[in-house]
Amino acid sequence: MPDKPSVIAALAEVQAERKLQEVAINICDGWTTQGMEEAAQKNLTLRELLRETGYRIPKVAWYARPGVNHLAKMSDEEILRLLEEVVPDNVAVLRRYPSFCRSVIRDLKGLATG
């Protein structure tokens, strides 16, 4: 049986998941699913998408590292389930374009982990 995470580690994980959801909401705010679909068809990278939306992902503070590591270890499906809670229409677009979806999640993890 795997070790149970400490209360502090569990809190860091929950905070990281909430921050990911907050970032997703901010990125998708005002960006139609049609616009996202067009980006998927062009197979844009996350950096290109962020340029289109004007959103800048904030730098990760050193004390957020445990939470960031938690997000980096999550599977793509786990990340999608988290995002689906807050931006379900956008996740539906990601699910229709698996290659684009993998690219966006990979880039998101890369930006988060520095």
Tens of pLDDT, residue by residue over 3-35, are: 666 888 888 888 888 888 888 888 888 778 898
Report pLDDT for 96.
Answer: 95
pTM, rounded to two decimals: 0.80
Does a structural domain hold residue 1?
Answer: no
Domains in the chain, number: 1
Nearest-angstrom CA–CA distance, 40 and 26: 19
- Residue 86: pLDDT above 70? yes
Nearest-angstrom CA–CA distance, 54 and 72: 24
What is the domain extent for residue 96? 7-113
Among 2-6, 79-83, 85-89, 103-107, name the one with the lowest average pLDDT. 2-6
Does a structural domain hold residue 2?
Answer: no
The torsion angles phi and psi of 56, rounded to 5 degrees, stand at -115, 125
Report pLDDT for 1.
Answer: 47
